[in-house]
Structure formats: structure tokens, C-alpha cells
Structure 1
Amino acid sequence: MNEHVTYEVQDSVAVLTIAHPPVNALSFSVRSGLLDAVERADSDPTVRSILIRAEGRTFPAGADVREFGKPRAKPILSTVVARIEACSKPVVAAVQGTALGGGFEIALGAHYRLADRKARFGLPEVGLGVLPGGGGTQRVPRLTGAGSALDLMLSGKLISAEKASDLGLVDALVDGDVAAAGFAFARDLAQNGAKPRPTCERREGFADAAAYTAAITARRAEVAKSPLDAPGKIVDCVEAAMLLPFEAGIAMERAAFDDCENSDGARALRHAFFAERRAAKVPELDGATLREVNTIGVVGAGTMGAGIAVACLDAGFPVTLVERDDEGLMRGVEKIDAIYERSLVKGRIDAATRDARMELLSGSTRMEDLGRVDLVIEAVFEETSVKVGVFAQLDQVMKPGAILATNTSYLDINALADTISRPEDVVGYHFFSPANIMKLLEIVVADKTDLNVVATGFALARKLRKVPVRAGVTDGFIGNRILAAYRLAADFMLEDGATPTQIDAAMRAYGFPVGPYQVLDIAGLDISWARRKRLAETRDPAHRYVTIGDTLCARGWFGQKAGRGYYLYEAGGRVGREDPEVLRIISEARAAKGITPRAFTAEEIQARCLGAMANEGARLLEEGVALRPSDIDVVLFFGYGFPRWRGGPMMAADLRGLLTVENELKSWVEEAPEFWTPAPLWDELIKNGRHFADMNED
């Protein structure tokens, strides 16, 4: 019998057990084993009902994503589901854990569904740029109607077993052993001579045709502007469920799935899916021993420190927050309390949860109170001298083996680590603001960082529900190095004839939530100005330098917080409007350099910004700052708003074509050779017929 599906008959019930750890993914072996087992049970005269169950913690949690984008080995999922549904004997699915995607569709093919009360259901395929391909678009609306079916498929969100029961997707909820309950249910069906109840013949969801049609119309309007094909095709398929014969609807779903699967958007989303998981695999994990982290200290109670403290409190860690004086400490505690109050008002947490988390927080103005904690995260002002002073104090009070993590965006962690007696305990944790919400955590490995400290950081990131990415030491690490290149490409165009509004609009059209100058105004122009001033002494005077941002900062126009930056803001406003004075400053900067302004198309703006990002990414790979191209992509779409469906700058370059991008870079070299000259990695990949994606597997 199949290695992943076992067959057993008890009391006239054929028990088909799926065992393919860790999540019982519906690989070829599982599909073929399940199909063979169903056919065997259907032809076995001693069998009068069938139970489909799974070993381990979950019912099949979806397809094997590694098979996407490749020729699918038969039987495909829709064939297996159809065979289950066509069985001449009643079939029961006993669901525990998460029945996702194809796993949910397997359950829908069964005639009856029992679920553990803690189970969850979902059709998350839209997150991979595709749609349910095992009949989900046809069977779910037959049970629930169009509105609820589209909620499931367009959001990709999971629903509870109770919600699934309310929608008619589950027949009974079970407290305890759902497999035993499923067996008893199937045995009762056999003893009572029950007949099959194919989902394809159900019509409850079509009872209110007007509501069904209205839901289709509303959702079609909502998804009309989606950059992906899948949402629109999902709406079309759900509409077809009511309008077409079942088999025709299944054929339509299959064709739609095939169209979506090989689209650029779906390829990029699959890349993102694997990239996130690949980023957690770093060399320091091999042979590492995790250090114990039960208590955490945070030094600095500003915006970042407060957000980091909340992230740690949310994960259940007792946190000691340290500030230099009572006033600063009080402000920090108030920030934390305000964060929880907003979560309470929005219904994200209840009062008991808020109180429990605040109970874990203690404050102090004494560094000595950090002597008992296992990990200290330093989050003071981004200035080397300030951080060196804090490091010196912590070196005196931290216990042996405690980890010292610095939350810095740009500073040299090697230099910071060398100022204390135990540089092996120092690591960079680059959180992104707001730190309690943003998922990205760059774990910056200094030259002397102990491998156990690195491994502990990755384990901690999982507890904090962050996505960790390993980075080496360089100015700006991975994310801010790429961001600096992005902004510099934009600044060159600004100086050459574009406006902030045009550049921002082009990048929003590409898929970014906001453009680069909007981001500067939101973050504060003074932050990047401080970096430029810090690097001024080492800047090559022969390199092209754009002074427009410096001019704005010299006037105190730091963005939204000042009411003025690249845009002009009404009092307290968050939406800026074009500022004629800024346009005049830009015009004067052009005139000072003798630049005759020219027009830029949205496509050229996008190509230059993306080319700059990918070229800087190539340099990071050559320098060993980033382990692999996909890590760069993860940083960009979790930390900087790069559209996930574009896959990140390195994947976007692959999709565009490396030779095309390299030729574009070469065509701009005369404008700023030090910036636009392609990194040698481009030629190396192109001459060997490789892509950035190939480096992910090296």
C-alpha cells in the first residue's frame, strides 16, 4: 500500500489515514494513495462507509507548493476530490488542525464533515496568486452562497470550525478525539444504510439568487483594480457555480487555475513564500546551542524602544525598560500604555490581556537593574558616541552570557562591539518602526558575534512573530543600503527634471503603498540628513551629490512632523500637497549645475528605481552582506513596502531579464559612473545562463 496513505477496515468502515508529516501536504504520493484507497474501498463488498482522517496535528494543510509552476503528476487534486465525491458509499472526513486549500477541498469532496472544535478552515490560494483548483470555487458556494464563499477565497483568511459549521461547511463539531468520533459517525451511517450526499448536488447556497448575484456584482467591482488575475477569476468561477452545470464549472476553474499559475504575479508570490522560509536558514544554526532568554531589558524609551518593549511583552517576556531619568521613563511607559489602549479600542485585545502584559513591564533609571536579564536591546539615539556610552555601562552590569543587541539602522556594529570586553555577545537587531507591528527583523552579525548568539536571535524572532533575515555589517545593512540606492536614483531624476509628485505616483503605480518622497516626509527628513552629514567626510567629491534634501532640512522642513517637507501639510494633516516653494528650490538646484530639465515617463522612473535597487543588491551579495538574493527580497517586502506580488527587487530583475536590466544600467552610467556601473555579478550570471533565483539554491 502507499507509504503516505494506509487502508484498514473495521466494522464495515474503511479507514483511510493520511500520514505525510509535518502538515500532510497533498503531494503526488498522497494524492495517488488516496485515490487508490478510495477506489479499493468503493469496490470492497465488506465496506459500507468510508472515513478519511489524518495522523499528526493536522488534516492536510494544502498542496505541496513545490509542485506549483511545474507539470503536475497525475492524479491531480480535482480528480481525487471528484472520485471521493462520486463514491457509491458515504464518505466522512474527520478534520483536526487546519484544513487549508486542497485539504479543505478533500473534505468538501466527502459527503459528511466532522471537525474538532479547535480546527480551522481556509482557502488561501489567492496569497499565491492562484485560486482553489480542487473544486473549491464550485462546492463552497453550493453550501454557503456567493458572499461567504468569496469572503473565504478573496481574503485567504482562516475561519474557525464554529464559523464553518454556521456556514454549513461542517456537519458536526467534536470535543476530543475527532478521528474516533468520525469512525463512530461513519459506522452509524453504515449500520443505518445511509446513502452518499455529494456536495456537487447541494443547492442551499443558491436559494437566494438575488443575493448571490448581488454579491458577485459587488465583489467584481472590488477586485477590478487588482494587479493579479486570480481575484477576478475567483469571482467569475463562483458566478459560474450557479450559472453552469457542475462539470462545466469545474472545467472553468481548472482553466483559470492554469492561467494564473504561470503568471508573473503567481511566480513572484511563490518566490516570496519560499524566500520567507529560506531566510530562516543560516549557517550559524548548524551546531549552535541556544542561549537562555527568559527576561529582556530595553534601554531607551523613545518610539523605537517603546515599540520593541511591546513586541517583547506581547511574546510573554518580562521586560525591564530603562531610561536616564524619571521623566523620560514616564513618557516611555505612557507610550506603551497608549499602544495597548489603541489595541483595546480596536478590539485586538481585551482588558485582561492588556493588564497582563503591562504587569510584565517594570521601569528603571538604573542600568544596574539590567544585571539580572538574559538579553538587553539597546535602542537609544542613533549616534555612535551615545551608543558607546551605553555599551560601556552595560559592559559593567550585564551578567556573563547575557546578549547585548543594538537596534541601529546604520552604525558600525563591529566598532561598537570592540568598545567592550565581550564583543562575542554583541549582535544587531534592526527593528522596523512601529517595532510592535512591523514583521521584519534584520539580525546583523558582527565579525566576532558568537554563533550561539546568532542562533538565539533567530529563535527569539520566531517568538516575537518576526521574520528574521541575516545581514552582515555595512552602512545600512541590507534594507537601508537598498533604500539609499532607491532614493539616490529618485534624487538624480528629481535633479534632472522630474518632480516629487511624478516619482511618487510612478512608484505607487508599480505597487508601493507610497512613493520615496512620501516615505521621507513620513519618517522625517532629518533622519537621512543625519546619515548624509555623518558620511560627508568620506564622500568622494567626484561623485554626484544632490543637495535638494539638505536645503529642505536646513530650513527645518523635516516632513509631516514639521508641516512641511517635500510636500506641504495642513495643520495636523497626513496628506501632503505639492509645494511651489519646493519646486522652486529644485529648479534653483538644477540651474546651479547647469542642468536642462527633461521629462521622465512613469516606466522610466520605475526602471531606474528598480535597477538601482537590484544593482545595490548585487553588490551586497558580492560583499557577503546578504547570504542570498531572496533574503534581499524578504527585507524589501517586509520592511519597505515592496509589492509582494512583484517578488522583491532581485526577483523583479529576473522576471524583467538580467540582460535587459544590465543594459539599462549601462545606458545610465555617464550620469553617475560610481552609482550606475553594473556590479560584476550581472556579467557572471548572464554569461553562465543563470538568474538570481539560481543563487538561492547554491
Structure 2
Amino acid sequence: MTDIVSLDRHGDIAVLTISNPPVNALSPAVVAGLTAAVAAFEADRTYAALLVHSSGRTFVAGGDITSFDAPDFSAAPYNDTLARIEALDRPVAAALHGTVLGGGLELALACHWRVALPSTQLGLPEVKLGILPGSLGTQRLPRLAGAKLALDMIASGRSIGAEAARQAGIVDEVREGTPLEVGLAFVQDLLARRVGPRGTSERAVPDEGLPADFFDQALAEAAARKPFYPSARNIVLAVQAAATLPFAEGEAVEARLFEALRVSPESQAMRHLFFAERQAAKIPGLGRELALRPVHSVGILGAGTMGGGIAMNFVNAGIPTVLVEVTQAALDRGLGLIRTHYEASAAKGRLTAQQVAQRMALLRGTLDDAAFADCDLVIEAVFENMDLKKQVCARLGQVCQPGAIIATNTSTLDVDVLAAATGRPADVVGMHFFSPANVMRLLEVVRGARTAPDVLATVMQLARRIGKVAVVSGVCYGFIGNRMAEVYMREAEFLMMEGASPSQIDGAVEALGMAMGPCRMLDMAGIDVGANTVIEYGKAGGLPPDDSYRAVVRRMFEIGRFGQKTGAGYYRYDGRKPVDDPETSRIAAELAASHGIARRSDIGAQEIVERLLYSLINEGARILEEGIAYRPGDIDIVWTAGYGFPDHKGGPLWMADAIGLATIVERLQHYASTRGDAFGYWRVSPLLASLAGKGQRISDFAGTLA
């Protein structure tokens, strides 16, 4: 036995304890410890039963994902130990608490009996890493819960609560108490009732009420809804094997399907994002010993769509929040929209009426910005205009209490200029939420030149508290995401002027898995919003001396085609359905003629992909070489969490390595020569050129060109 896995005696019950904080992950050492503990129990016949439990705040919350990339990776040692547990001739029970996920649930399923605390959550989330459960989860879970529920849980990766698990037959009992107390009492009851072992693998998968074509339908749905994810099909095949084959044959099917997914580019990309998300929270120079500023109350200036959505994040986390507006009508409208949203969630069963009341009670509105004097964090969410935001920030610098954090939700403007306007720049940070702010996972945290370290650390911790994925950016136009989106939109508009339709442009990148193409994206966000960022950038002197630059969005703005909200933008809208509009083509052709841009009929999907995405990648490389982003993975997280970039591609920079940096450089140079490069649009990033020349990966870049 070891400190990580121990076997202790409680009367005639052997208690196997896993202690591998923080989440008791199944590292190789844990697996070795489990194997030794099971062997010790087998050898000692004085034990009447075995209880498996974990110390700390959770049962086993998953496997050691870092080991998946090892060339000699094998699930066999763990799977063999689970088989030994199930084959034991004395009762084995698992006491479950916290999160019982992935390999942790597979451990519990191998035990003969399971008891859980009421707050326990159980699930098999491997699909989120592009794989399937590889330790017989696809074979044991259907035998307990039935094929339909098992397939739903495995294919979605969702967790269920203890009581739902009991009703499904996954858990035998739900009891209050500490895990060890509950587990020991449960095992003692088993012994008193003289209950013996029972093996899950010996059961048949219940098929009552299952349509004869259930698996055919599931395969068709996987192909239609998740064509980019081989895991979707393989999961159906694995569960089908459980339902139609003997356990040993199903085990072989699962092993084969798991291994195919483990080495697939899709899973490697999704595992990259898993680790990149965790790395993004680690900020160089900020130690754990740094004291954080307290955030017990929050103020939001602006109760519009963005301000209201931002407020909901804090209210949802139980933080009292005040909304300030300049007119009563605007304030009433903002508070009303928040209440409507919560009531709609309650109508769908996602919230109770009591929860709606509790959240609204945490929110108050006022026209008096003196209310900010008691807030620990104040976020301005007013219109994206530099003069207005400077005026607002100057006022916040006066009314906010000493030590309060002042944040701007600007999406493109210079945070250092806004920070200076407050008169207290050390207290200022950018908090760029994405719309809808109460839904989107990404938060760009913009570190100004004079942002205090404890301000940055506090906001990063607060982001986790409100359920956001936070990525730090330095100060530049558009930060990480919108700076890259600008070159993406630039090429989309040039392609329109050259003759491509919005649906042709969007279709090319959506075929790769983008949630939506650039034209649909800006129509949804608002053409007026997009045009205004270009206009403000021009006022700041950032635009190239090119009259054709973003000419389409500016013309659309001039004539009131603001996108989906006005029924017409790049597309015309039939309800919410985008339809190519001849008027867009006419506008693009007119602009092309006025700017001397040749119209073409030979624009193909590959050219569209290269011009949009290779430009995007090139700009990402510039952001890295300038130190705006700390890591390549941070850029990948921004684009997958905030812009709908396909996670199975791993983000733009991970995808760049898959394509080959030399290929990307060659194509950028090709467009520079064929389209001209008077304004540096196709200038290759020195970092990208250097790495391509050395045959290195941009995903491995660690902050130096040497």
C-alpha cells in the first residue's frame, strides 16, 4: 500500500481509500495502488467485504489524460484490475461523493454495489475529449441503466445526480452522511442481509421498449448532427455491442474503437484544448501567495443587452449587483429583459420560481451612479465610443471607493487610454464579455500597462467563480479575438467585392466545422456594431490608407442594413433564416467598380478557406510575437470558446500545425504576389516564417524568436 491508495481494517471490512488530490485522478500510481490493494484483499480471507472510497472533496473524477499521448499507453492494467474487482467472491461496494466521472464511474460500475451521497454527480464525459470510455463504461453502464440512457449519457457527456442515478439503477442507495460513514453502514447492511457479490458483466442489457431500429437511427443521427466527430459513431457502435454481444466480445469492440479515437487528430485537438484551458489560468509572475481583492458586490454601468447579460453572470453566482442607467425607461427595459430571461428558464424547468426570486432579489437598479461607491468591482458597458468611454471612466475614477476594481467591457478600444482617464490606472482592467454575455463562456481579460497584479489575479479568480473561461490579452486594437476577426472579415469583404456571395463564403468555412461563417456572424452581432469598430479604429489612426478596406460593412451601415435585427445585412432574412440577397451583390459590385477591384467567377472554396483562415493564423502569429498573448493555446481557447472555431480542429494555431506552417507561408506569399500587397495584408509574420523554416510547430512556441 501507499499514501495514494491504502487498505485499512474496520472490523471485518477492508476499506480501500484513494487519496490523490485534488480530484483523485487515476494516475499510473493510483492504478498500481489499486492493483496492490485488490491483491491484498484477495489474499486476506479474514475480510468479509471491501469498501472502495476516496478522501477529499470527491470520488475519482477521471483518468490521467496526460498519459493518453504516451506511445506505450494501454488501458489494460486498469481494466484488468476492474475485472479482478468484479470477480471477487466477497461483496464489494463503492461509496460515492462529489463527482464520479470517467474512469471513476467505471471503477464504481465494476463494484458489486454503489451507495452515493445526495449531492453526487455521475457521468462519462470522455466524448468532450473526442474519445469514448475505455474501461468498460460502454459495456457496464448499459447493463445497469439500459441502452437508451447509457447512450445519451455517453454521447452527450452529461452528468446526472445521485437520485436520478438511483432511479436508473446505476446507484443502489442514496444516503446522507460522510462518504466513509455511509459506505461502512451500507456494507454492514449488506453483510447483515447476507448479500453476496454480483457482477454487472453477467447481466443482459434490458431492451424493453427499445425500437428494433434504435441503433440504426442513432447512427444516422450521429452522422447528421456530428459529422466531424468520429467519437459520435463509435460510441453508438460500442453501446450496440453491449446490447448485442457477450461481454467479452463487447469489451474487445470497445477497446478497438477507443484506440482508434485516442490516436485520431480530432481527439488530439480536443485534448490540446483541455490542457490549454487550464494553462490559460496560469499567469506568469502571479504567484499563489498574492492576496486577492475582495469582491462582495458588483456594479454595472449600462443596462442594455450587454450590461444586462454581464449582470446576470454575477447574480447567478450569488453576488449582489447594481445596474445603473441614465433614464428610467432604459433601466426598466433592462431589468425587465433580465426577469423575462429568468422566467423563460423557469418555464423550461431550468430554474425554480424560488431561484428566479432569489436572483432578482440580488439585483437592483438605480439612476444614481453614487451606488457604485459601495461596490468592489464596477464594469462599464456603455456604447463602443472612445470619447464616451473616457468620460464614463473619468466619472468612475471619482465615485468608486479606494481599492475598487474598475473594468471596461470594450471590445476593441485602447484600455490604457481608458485606464488613464480614471486617474487610477492600477485599478483598471479590461473585461471583454462576449454576447450573449450570460451564455458565452469566454472572457478576455485585458492587462493594461499599469494594471496592478492583484487586480489581474482577482479578476482571473472571479472569472472561474462566474463560470467563464478567462484568457489574458495585452493591449492592442481588438485584443486577441477581434484583432484576428478583423483580418478574417477583411478578406470576407474583399471576396464579396470580387464576386463571392455571402453563402459561398460562409459555406466554405462552415464545411470545416465553423459554427457560422463571417457574414452570418456579423449579421447576428450587428452590422452597426461591426461598422462602428472600424470607424473608431479609423479615428485612432489604425486603418490602412486603403479606401476599399471594409468598404462593404461601412456602406451597409450607411444605408441602415444592420443585419438580422433589421431584416437585412449581408443577407436578407426570412424570419431568422439567412437568404442571399441580390442587393448585397449589387452593392459589392458597385464598390468593386469604384475601387478598381476586378470581379471574378472562379472563386473556389479552397481559396476562401485559405484567404480567411490563413490570414487569421498569420495574425495570431503576430499576436504571439508581440507578446499580446502568453501562449499559442490561449489564442486557440479564445477562438474555440468565443468565435465558434471547431474544437475538433483544436483552434487556429493547432490547425496551422496540422496543415503545415510551410504550406501556410507559401500560400500567403502566393496571395501577396497575385493580389498585390501594397498595404501589408499578406506580409508573413516573422515568427511564422521562422518556425516554418526550422520545421517547428507554432503550438510549441514558448515566447522567443531565437
Q: Is TM-score (shorter-chain normalized) higher than 0.5?
A: yes
Contiguous gaps of at least 5 residues in structure 2: none
Distance in 2, matches of 1:216 and 1:312, equals 43
Rate the CA distance shift 1:212–1:238 in 2: closer, same or farther, 3 A. Answer: farther
What residue number does 2:48 align with? 48
Rate the CA distance shift 1:185–1:393 in 2: closer, same or farther, 3 A. Answer: closer
1:544-623 matches, cutoff 5 A: 545-570=549-574, 573-592=575-594, 593-623=596-626
What residue number does 2:629 align with? 626
In the alignment, structure 1 residue 131 sits paired with structure 2 residue 132: yes
What residue number does 2:220 align with? 221
Are the equivalent residues in 1 in contact too, given 2:498–2:597 (CA < 8 A)? no
In the alignment, structure 1 residue 690 sits paired with structure 2 residue 696: yes
Pairwise CA distance, 1:395: 2.1
Distance in 2, matches of 1:509 and 1:457, equals 37
In the alignment, structure 1 residue 329 sits paired with structure 2 residue 335: no
SS of residue paired to 2:464: helix
The match for 2:646 among 635, 643, 647 is 643
User: What is the letter of the counterpart of residue 599 of structure 1?
Assistant: D
Partner deviation per Cα, 1:337-391 (whole Å, 9 max, x = no partner): 2222222222222222222222222222222222222111111111111111112
Distance in 2, matches of 1:424 and 1:458, equals 16
Distance in 2, matches of 1:365 and 1:188, equals 63
Are the equivalent residues in 1 in contact too, given 2:445–2:473 (CA < 8 A)? yes
Are the equivalent residues in 1 in contact too, given 2:75–2:134 (CA < 8 A)? no
In the alignment, structure 1 residue 680 sits paired with structure 2 residue 682: no
Partner deviation per Cα, 1:541-561 (whole Å, 9 max, x = no partner): 258625222222222111122
Pairwise CA distance, 1:697: 9.5
With structure 2 as the length reference, what TM-score do the two structures score?
0.94
User: What is the letter of the counterpart of residue 210 of structure 2?
Assistant: A
SS of residue paired to 1:597: coil
For structure 1, which segment, 65-74 or 47-56, has the greater mean C-alpha deviation from structure 2 after superposition? Answer: 65-74
What residue number does 2:295 align with? 293
Partner deviation per Cα, 1:184-212 (whole Å, 9 max, x = no partner): 44345556664321111012x3353x616
What residue number does 1:39 align with? 39
User: What is the letter of the counterpart of residue 105 of structure 2?
Assistant: F
User: What is the letter of the counterpart of residue 254 of structure 1?
Assistant: A
What residue number does 2:141 align with? 140
Are the equivalent residues in 2 in contact too, given 1:477–1:625 (CA < 8 A)? yes
Are the equivalent residues in 2 in contact too, given 1:297–1:377 (CA < 8 A)? yes
What residue number does 1:90 align with? 91
SS of residue paired to 1:297: strand
Pairwise CA distance, 1:34: 0.6
User: What is the letter of the counterpart of residue 206 of structure 2?
Assistant: F
Rate the CA distance shift 1:540–1:613 in 2: closer, same or farther, 3 A. Answer: closer
User: What is the letter of the counterpart of residue 648 of structure 1?
Assistant: G
Rate the CA distance shift 1:506–1:314 in 2: closer, same or farther, 3 A. Answer: same
User: What is the letter of the counterpart of residue 640 of structure 1?
Assistant: Y
Distance in 1, matches of 2:623 and 2:413, equals 17
The match for 2:537 among 531, 535, 540 is 535
Pairwise CA distance, 1:483: 0.9
User: What is the letter of the counterpart of residue 440 of structure 1?
Assistant: L
Are the equivalent residues in 1 in contact too, given 2:624–2:703 (CA < 8 A)? no
Rate the CA distance shift 1:15–1:696 in 2: closer, same or farther, 3 A. Answer: farther
Contiguous gaps of at least 5 residues in structure 1: none
For structure 1, which segment, 637-646 or 74-83, has the greater mean C-alpha deviation from structure 2 after superposition? Answer: 74-83
Are the equivalent residues in 2 in contact too, given 1:28–1:75 (CA < 8 A)? no
What residue number does 1:24 align with? 24
User: What is the letter of the counterpart of residue 564 of structure 2?
Assistant: Q
In the alignment, structure 1 residue 525 sits paired with structure 2 residue 527: yes
Coordinate RMSD, CA, aligned: 2.0
Distance in 2, matches of 1:211 and 1:157, equals 21
For structure 1, which segment, 590-599 or 161-170, has the greater mean C-alpha deviation from structure 2 after superposition? Answer: 590-599
In the alignment, structure 1 residue 363 sits paired with structure 2 residue 365: yes
In the alignment, structure 1 residue 316 sits paired with structure 2 residue 318: yes
Partner deviation per Cα, 1:547-605 (whole Å, 9 max, x = no partner): 222222222111122221111124xx211211112112222333441514042332332
Are the equivalent residues in 2 in contact too, given 1:27–1:63 (CA < 8 A)? yes
Pairwise CA distance, 1:18: 1.0
What residue number does 2:200 align with? 199
SS of residue paired to 1:513: coil
Distance in 2, matches of 1:497 and 1:193, equals 79
What residue number does 2:7 align with? 7
For structure 1, which segment, 530-539 or 163-172, has the greater mean C-alpha deviation from structure 2 after superposition? Answer: 530-539
Are the equivalent residues in 1 in contact too, given 2:480–2:638 (CA < 8 A)? yes
The match for 1:374 among 360, 373, 376 is 376
1:344-359 matches, cutoff 5 A: 344-359=346-361
What residue number does 1:248 align with? 249
Distance in 2, matches of 1:207 and 1:519, equals 44
Distance in 2, matches of 1:76 and 1:278, equals 29
What residue number does 1:490 align with? 492
Distance in 2, matches of 1:47 and 1:445, equals 59
Partner deviation per Cα, 1:287-334 (whole Å, 9 max, x = no partner): 532111111111112111111122222122222221123232222222
Distance in 2, matches of 1:229 and 1:270, equals 15
Are the equivalent residues in 1 in contact too, given 2:176–2:182 (CA < 8 A)? no
Distance in 2, matches of 1:311 and 1:583, equals 41
What residue number does 1:100 align with? 101
SS of residue paired to 2:234: helix
Pairwise CA distance, 1:129: 0.5
Pairwise CA distance, 1:133: 0.5
Rate the CA distance shift 1:144–1:367 in 2: closer, same or farther, 3 A. Answer: closer
What residue number does 2:263 align with? 262
Are the equivalent residues in 1 in contact too, given 2:96–2:117 (CA < 8 A)? yes
Are the equivalent residues in 1 in contact too, given 2:147–2:239 (CA < 8 A)? yes
